[in-house]
A and B are shown apart, each in its own frame.
Chain A
């Protein structure tokens, strides 16, 4: 089972994703924005990051760039879970170093299938 960092400024989304991952047996760390996530990441490693894109203080794209600059997160899978679905935004995420792009509405089965795939 993996340790997964969830980043979302919406409390209800954090709760739903956390519940889904814990039910599947994963350990979870949660952060409300990119700044909090980056601080958590500097203090502890995780096997996977799932981040929202539109967040205050530090958005998800910036967070991905910052995480990729950390040696411990250079090859860690990073998924976005977002309402953004435009090709431009996806390409921005890909260029920043995202591993995959999941568009909301959130679907637990789909999320777990994707998590299992990227964790191998």
Chain B
């Protein structure tokens, strides 16, 4: 039977405003619309869709509200500022914790904003954190350590995980059901993924060092607006 390719842009109006810019395609095998996310991105939906990504040392966290049928996935790594600096920033905090929390909060907030229940009731699954770069610190392991500590601090329960090892992973997440498909990529060259993650890391360090923008709604030259 011939596959029917559907122009996915027609469905963009059904997405939440945060994600209308993202491209998707129709998978005739899984019979589902597919959104592919890259490092630094996240996607959440209330529709029956498949979210895919390829992970090296990065982490993807799949989060789903089982009652509201809203779920999503992110794809991130830590800026690893400690390699070139002290273990902590000027005020005793690493950029790693700040950026990791930010990456998680964007996804959790999005799910809660569009009808999710309390954060303690979310179903969490984590993937990735492989060791794919030789001769460097095990970035994947540090990403795994962060996400486990983060979930403990936030009181979030881990439902499933497939982390570590020395292979990249291709994964697909179905937010409507919570189903995850993971394929360990043993037979492909890691160079492409290493290059992508190295470029992402360089951008990430700039972003994490600068922090988010600040806007004051008044004149504070003399202390009071």
Contact = CB atoms under 8 A, between A and B. Distances in A.
Nearest to A97: B217
Contact of A13 (B101, B216, B222, B225): B101
Interface string B193-225: 000000000000001111111111110101111
A72 interface: no
A114 B102 contact: no
B112 A102 contact: no
A83 B119 CA distance: 16
Given A83-B106, A104-B102, A117-B220, A11 B215 contact: no
Interface stretch (B47-55, B92-100, B171-179, B182-190): B92-100
A66 interface: no
Contact of B217 (A83, A99, A105, A108): A99
Contacts of A85: 212-213
A16 B109 contact: no
27 contacts: A13-B105, A15-B153, A16-B93, A16-B101, A19-B91, A83-B106, A85-B212, A102-B212, A103-B214, A104-B98, A104-B101, A104-B211, A104-B212, A105-B102, A105-B208, A105-B211, A106-B98, A106-B212, A107-B95, A107-B98, A108-B90, A108-B98, A109-B211, A114-B214, A118-B216, A119-B223, A120-B222
Nearest to B151: A12
A94 B109 contact: no
B85 interface: no
Contact of A106 (B90, B101, B150, B154): B101
Number of chain B interface residues as a range: 35 or more
Contact of A108 (B89, B99, B153, B215): B89
B21 interface: no
A12 to B, nearest CB: 5
Given A13-B105, A56-B112, A107 B154 contact: no
Contacts of A9: 119
Kindly name the residue among B98, B154, B213 whose own CB sees the greatest number of chain A CB atoms within 10 A.
Answer: B98
A37 interface: no
B218 A99 contact: yes
Nearest to B79: A105
Given A102-B214, A106-B98, A114-B214, A12 B93 contact: no
A106 B89 CA distance: 12
A99 B216 contact: yes
A101 B225 CA distance: 14
A29 to B, nearest CB: 20
A20 interface: yes
B118 interface: yes
B13 interface: no
A51 to B, nearest CB: 14
Nearest to B107: A83
A10 B217 contact: no
Nearest to B224: A120
A10 B98 contact: no
